[in-house]
Structure 1
């Protein structure tokens, strides 16, 4: 039980700290939007760079060491940002190192989850805790800012010490029974899963990045709408492990539903903010179902999961990094309708190409 609490609480605090700076970005550099952007992006850049190396190291030297290292970096960098908030360069550096810590944790934690007998159910709890952490980082830090600008950072940093201490109880059970696969072999073997993750996760980033300017809604309304996306993922992450569906048909339906939801997102503001919340909840719901199915398929392979999950996380981070950027360029060149149309088309493509994946779950559910 301690081992599972370490990972569930660990992903909650890591994700909460990743978002905890968002409501208070002006505090770090009130007159320099570029610096604010650097502070925000440094985290994801560090995570993107570290997830695959972390997975490789976890396969070779053990996931426990990487999980502990990731949580240790989370604690240290959270404390550093709290103690030295008025030095933008130090904050940017700390956020980058914090992202590296997150990369080490998420790659290794998911690889640990995937070799457990109850991996299907545990992955659902993991993704639910991840999204609750993202929500909490935004909402709780914003609320606590009235009592102290960086109080939220302190709260989540102190809380992250608990999973770090519990991580010393982790075992490597199940890992030694599997073989190490080279990066290129793992990337080719699961290429359709990784591509679907890139597009589906990237699409959530496209919607999140376009909507503030697209709708011009008040920040509080936008927060509620984006929160609905996370809540949709939380709910379906908990429901999906209880439903036995093969990955290919589930991902195909997910791609179709996501394509429809993105198209509806373009028109939803005309019907009020409640319509937008429903569409966003549908988008988040697709992510939860698809993630659990993808994890179950990856978990059944007989190779160590560090590299496999590291590439999976890199594809998700890559989607979040590149697809919103490309969508922004499309908006500048053609307009919002073209950007939403492109995202819709890509989601539809998921429903087509996933059929080329021989993604059949052969094992009995845990």
Structure 2
């Protein structure tokens, strides 16, 4: 199997497994705050794992981190499928997130060292979202046909076992130069990247977090059946797939893309319950933004493990923080107050992104 194709299939399986529990959250826990915690625990685990994994990829190579990450995802998937207590699920969703975060940062680091980074990034992000889509639709259909809440977890855990066995037998080749510099210097470089690219990181947190907010609260507040929840949330991922594949044709810089996207996100935050398929706009925005951000970082930063670790950390940070905040605010106030506060964060994003060093970076022209 050609190595990029292996990574595309692996991220498909990991993401499908991560989403297999989302459509059935209302049946697992009655309390909306518990549902959003189970949803967010995965992203918190990924958030705390991605940066250390990115640094480890630079220091020890991507192949080792990829193998370890797949083993963690497999074990957590097995335990989620047999341990059904909501608070036990919180822990194993956290572990699953750690494994997924390790895989994402090390795989993106591997891709960023390739000559065709932009195209492969588009394929990787499309595969990621196709996995999320498959997890939603597949689980919704399987639950409707079988009546078993965890049937989706079983199926995708089996697929994860197959891909884990493959990578243990046929390891991914190493790329890039392993860094033998002290950890103190690596940490210093990490801090410098955070400061240099802080408007970009803020946009990642808010814009990706908005999609997580919709995914977390829609199952409970919409009042629709499991298979309908799956279709709506899958539509968001389908839109992301399409725009991920088309992103390399764009001739504009990330500043303009992010500013327009942040403004477009605001009305959707208020309307996705009443007009569910407005989440297509959210999905389309995220596809373009993620590819352009990764492509820019692959040229702007020398240490790709650190850069992709930070990108993944802030991505998962947004998917952890914003849904949890939204669920809390809905419990204490209302859906509209919650959406208003998150919309204000999107508005701030539109303003501060003008300070980003990615201004003037033309996606299409730099990857000819």
CA offset digits 1:299-319 (Å, max 9, x no partner): 102422122221222212221
- SS at 1:364's partner residue? helix
Deviation at 1:253, TM superposition (A): 1.6
C-alpha contact (below 8 Å) 2:201/2:314 kept by paired residues? yes
Shift of 1:20: 1.7
Query: How far has the Cα of 1:175 moved from its partner?
Result: 4.1
Specify whether residues 341 and 223 from structure 1 end up closer, same or farther in structure 2 by C-alpha distance, changes over 3 A only: same
Could you give the per-residue CA deviations for residues 90-121 of structure 1, whole angstroms, max 9, x where no partner exists?
65544332222111101111111112111111
How does 1:1-366 map onto structure 2 within 5 Å?
2-24=2-24, 40-82=39-81, 84-85=82-83, 92-145=90-143, 146-147=145-146, 149=148, 150-164=150-164, 165-166=166-167, 168-175=170-177, 182-212=189-219, 214-263=221-270, 265=271, 269=274, 273=275, 276-277=276-277, 279-359=278-358, 360-361=360-361, 364-366=366-368
Of the structure 1 ranges 239-248 and 99-108, higher mean CA displacement relative to structure 2 is found in 239-248
1:216, distance to aligned residue in structure 2 (A): 3.7
Closer, same or farther in 2 for the Cα pair 1:229/1:247, shift >3 Å?
same
Q: Distance in 1 between matches of 2:33 and 2:326?
A: 20
Contact 2:32 2:220 in 1 (8 A): no
* Maintained 8 Å contact 1:254/1:286: yes
- Determine if contact 1:183/1:307 at 8 Å carries over to the other structure: yes
User: CA separation of 1:35/1:190 partners in 2, compared to 1, >3 Å: closer, same or farther?
Assistant: closer
Paired residues, what number? 356
| Worse overlay, 356-365 or 246-255 | 356-365
Q: CA deviation at 1:161?
A: 3.7
Q: Which runs of 5+ in 1 are unaligned?
A: none
TM-score (norm 2): 0.85
Q: 2: distance between equivalents of 1:261 and 1:26?
A: 23
User: In 2, distance between residues paired with 1:211 and 1:121?
Assistant: 32
1:245 Cα deviation (Å)?
A: 2.2
TM-score normalised per structure 1: 0.85
Cα deviation for residue 37 of structure 1 reads 6.5
